Homo-oligomer: A and B are copies of this chain.
Amino acid sequence: MAKSGTSSRVVARDSSRSAGTRRQLVEAAIETLKADGFTGASARAIAERAGVNQGLIFYHFGSVADLLLAALDSVSAQRMEQYGEAVDGVGSPSELVDVAMAIFREDLDAGHVTVLVEMIAGASSTPGLGPEVSARLGPWFAFAERAMERTVGGSPLGSVLPVRDVAYGIVALYLGLEMLTHLNGDRTRALGLFDDAKNLAGLLDALGSSPPTGEP
């Protein structure tokens, strides 16, 4: 289930023919997961979208599941990069909610998190897939924790809130909102929650800037 180098050397930006085909397949796998979900992401469907012979999936990736994991890796890496950039300029809780809402809107429109959701839900049907998907969620938890630490870590709130637990909950909420939004096609319910969160964050801003309990 792990990636196997086809050549003697694993190169990130390879311009060989193999690398081109692989990229096409990964891209097509992502799009197919977004459009038709895990069940619809068959070798035939993905290969057709990539404009490539179906057998190439097994040559380059060994199995459909491994191609889908490569797709998940790709989406995950892209998203983590953008999330990191977005959060870099953030200081206060309400600023964090602002950028989170912008990112969430983009995630919804582009369907990035759908890939995650489909892989998580689909994992139960393919033996051995669960642990692989689970491992790839690590960065998402780590990021959520980092974002919270950055904004409320220094304030008195940080020592009260169980940051790790809350970060876990935030990721779960994010996945759940994505699922529901994708299902009924209505973004407004989910986005409304971000507005509520922003009101709440406004209160936390004040709390963070004027610490009521002095630290020695």
Interface set of A (CB-CB < 8 Å, partner B): 35-40, 114, 117-118, 120-126, 130, 133-134, 137, 162, 165-166, 168-169, 171-177, 179-180, 182-184, 189-190, 192-193, 196
Contacts and interface: CB of A to CB of B under 8 A. Distances in A.
A134 B189 CA distance: 14
7 shortest A-B CB distances, which residue pairs? A172-B176, A121-B121, A176-B176, A37-B124, A39-B125, A40-B125, A37-B125
A152 to B, nearest CB: 14
Contact of A179 (B125, B175, B182): B175
A168 B196 contact: no
A165 B196 contact: yes
B171 A175 contact: no
Contacts of A118: 121, 124
B122 A121 contact: yes
A190 to B, nearest CB: 7
Q: How many copies does the complex hold?
A: 2
A189 B162 contact: no
Contacts of A196: 162, 165-166
A173 B169 CA distance: 7
B169 A177 contact: yes
Contacts of A182: 124
Given A172-B190, A189-B168, A196-B166, A125 B180 contact: no
Nearest to A116: B179
A182 B166 CA distance: 19
Contact of A162 (B117, B134, B192): B192
Contacts of A39: 38-39, 122, 125-126
